[in-house]
Chains A and B, each alone.
Chain A
Amino acid sequence: MIFFLTSFFVSVMAASTPLLLAGCGELVVERSGVLNLGVEGMMLVGAVCGFAIGHLTDSSALGVVAAALGGAALSVVFAFLTLTLLANQTAAGLALTIFARGFSALLGAGYVGVKGPELAKLSLPGLSQIPFFGRVLFGQDALLYGSLAILVAVAWFLYRTHAGLALRAVGDSHDAAHAIGYPVNRIRLGAILFGGAMAGLGGGYMSLSYSPLWAENMTAGRGWIALALVVFATWRPGWLLVGAYLFGAIMYLSLYAQGLGVAIPSPLIAALPYLVTVAVLAIIARDRRRIRLNQPACLGKPFYAGA
């Protein structure tokens, strides 16, 4: 029983981490009033960059860095299109994902079926050997614990720092924020870069720890689920954690349901997380007032400062 529980918790944490990383980045982006639908694409580019650099240098740590840089680099394109050229954010985000599907496949063509480095699991003498708690709390890779630390840092930043207040102000009213002298576009650029790096890390976690390998379209819609999680969390970091771990559990169950003796054909179980996403969105979004109270008021609107 302890063994089963341990492996359940460990697997759920691993399945949740890409969602948490990408969702955390997108939460900050949306809080600044920008809707970047390119999360899936930035995750794919992060996954391929992380895997390729990790493979070439034989260092999973450099792979993680490359994943974050890859995601951030792609987000620069989005920032240029939407902030400088005032392109429609919905269209630009979709463009990012469409481009990245092809681009990551092109970059990764030589890495399909190749064995790459894997993020090392922590091993703290004594601590990691404690039954259950040892493996759950001290026996995973550093990026998994890092994702939790980043979430706490983001929550602290948003609610306890002046910069976080400025970012939320820009998201709720860019005209007012501009009028009192906040650099709207610079703040948004920072948020978009952070979101890109986090999505890249989420992809890197897939290719360096969760899978760990590179395959075309390997994120399989997790970027879109991360976007849905931000709505589910009504733009609040604490609820994002709940949502990401809930979906991690559903993904785990859909992967291992057959092993647990559930007599439903595997393709139908694989469809489950996507259907649950829709169901959860429906439950959250039908309360229009709650959405309107929490949604950044300028979400998706372009900002033009004038001459």
Chain B
Amino acid sequence: MRFEPRGKVSRFWTYASPVLAIALTIVGTGAIFWALGQAPGPAVYTFLVAPLVQTGGLSALAIKAAPLIMMGAGLALCYRASVWNIGAEGQFTLGAIFAGGFALAFPNLPGWLLYPATLAAGVVGGALLAAVVAALRTELNVNEILSSLMLTYATQYLLVYLVTGPWKDPQGFGFPQTALFSDGATTPTLIAGTGVHLGCLVAPIAAIAVWAALSRSVLGFELRVVGEAPRAARFAGFSERGLIWVAMLVSGGLAGLAGMFEVTGPIGQLTPDISPGYGFTAIIVAFLGRLHPIGAIFAGLLLALSYLGGDAAQVDLGLPNAVTGVFQGVLLFLLLACDILILFRVRLSGPRAAPAGAAE
């Protein structure tokens, strides 16, 4: 078996590759369940179907998907421009810290002011951390992969410091957590009793907005050129520096927004465990969604399902919920593997003696 260049991008496989990867991942997950001593069929059902069909399943999915979609759309834009921001987790965390800090500092501001200001604080927090990464890259030539990740670790320690130190709830029985946010700073619920909050609506809107900006604006065009043909972009005089800033600020701001919704919505306070690795999962969301903000919506829903499935596997099958991480990792592996079909076709025989320049 060997791979033969197609000479062009296959549109069919651009979209079929993730579907094939998902199908293979489901088979692979079954094999992992089997290796763990479970019957593969029922275990896969418990992992991927049961969480959806049970009561409240769809609302739980929407809540988990919201941060993934917001961050995945932002990262899609970044990666299109070949800006490798992998610190969305840290930007999410600093957004949550800024929003939480504001909500705790001014609990009694009038609601019309408090909530928008809290939201803005979250966006600023995420964008600020991303700005540090952007500045390090454009001013000091520091690789953004390493700096964004290092700042993620540092931010997580900052959160631990705040919730165990100065922001700790004096009435919290010693738990590492802040007081609950006031009503005015809490993200409104859209459907009573389900927990589906404003962020679940904002997430797809944000993804569509990013898509519109990418496909309908000159800036979006420049971003794509920088990523796909950096030399051409340089000849055309596009400012690489400016585009790095735009990509980082947008993705960081969206991550901060996601962090803000998460702590003022489902969680309601700051704790050390505000994210089960949403920022890292969002990297997979971006790739699975073909680095397309709209694709991030579908990919975000699937990966949200893997979190619900991990919880279900833990409760119903007694497995560690680390299966979620394994599922996500295998999915990304298989996606990258299937992507070879976009540029190459598989030949089962040896090289064919085709005359040079022959039409395919």
Contact = CB atoms under 8 A, between A and B. Distances in A.
Interface of A: 37, 77, 80-81, 85-88, 90-92, 94-96, 98-103, 105-106, 109, 216, 220-221, 224-225, 227-228, 231, 265, 267-268, 270-271, 274-275, 277-278, 281-282, 285-286, 288, 291, 304, 307
B142 interface: yes
Given A98-B325, A268-B161, A286-B139, 12 more contacts: A85-B337, A95-B284, A98-B329, A100-B329, A103-B326, A265-B161, A267-B164, A270-B157, A277-B150, A278-B136, A281-B142, A281-B147
Interface stretch (B95-103, B112-120, B179-187, B316-324): B316-324
B153 A86 contact: no
Per CB-CB distance, the 8 closest pairs between chain A and chain B, nearest first, are A102-B325, A99-B329, A105-B322, A271-B157, A267-B161, A95-B332, A87-B336, A109-B320
A307 B327 CA distance: 35
A102 B157 contact: no
Contact of A228 (B150, B154, B157): B150
Interface residues of B, number: 51
B272 to A, nearest CB: 9
Contacts of B325: 98-99, 101-103, 105-106
Given A274-B151, A282-B136, A286-B140, A90 B145 contact: yes
A105 B321 CA distance: 9
B160 A267 contact: yes
Contact of B322 (A37, A102, A224, A285): A102
B165 to A, nearest CB: 6
B110 interface: no
B149 interface: yes
Nearest to A112: B320
A15 to B, nearest CB: 16
B340 interface: yes
A286 B142 CA distance: 7
A81 B333 contact: yes
Nearest to A268: B161
Contacts of B16: none
Interface in B132-164: 136, 139-143, 145-147, 149-151, 153-154, 157-158, 160-161, 164
B228 interface: no
Nearest to B332: A95
Contact of A231 (B143, B322, B339): B143
B3 to A, nearest CB: 8
A278 B280 contact: no
B180 to A, nearest CB: 22
Contact of A274 (B142, B150, B320, B323): B150
Given A99-B329, A99-B330, A291 B154 contact: no
A88 B286 CA distance: 14
B92 to A, nearest CB: 16
Nearest to A86: B340
B334 to A, nearest CB: 9
Contacts of A94: 86, 283, 332
B4 interface: yes
Contacts of B280: 98, 101
Contacts of B4: 307
B336 A224 contact: no
Name B's interface SS. helix
Interface string B1-29: 00111000000000000000000000000
B336 A85 contact: yes
Nearest to A104: B322
Interface string B58-94: 0000000000000000000000000010100000000
A87 B146 contact: no
Contacts of B261: none
B37 interface: no
A87 B86 contact: no
27 contacts: A87-B339, A88-B336, A91-B287, A95-B329, A98-B284, A99-B325, A101-B277, A101-B325, A102-B324, A103-B326, A103-B329, A106-B36, A106-B322, A109-B322, A220-B153, A221-B153, A224-B146, A224-B150, A228-B150, A267-B157, A267-B164, A268-B157, A277-B146, A278-B146, A285-B140, A285-B141, A286-B142
Contacts of B281: 98
A96 B337 CA distance: 13
B328 interface: yes
Given A98-B325, A221-B153, A87 B340 contact: yes
A275 B136 CA distance: 12
Contacts of B160: 267
B351 interface: yes
Interface in B219-272: none
Given A98-B328, A98-B329, A268-B157, A278 B340 contact: no
Contacts of B323: 102, 106
Nearest to A224: B149
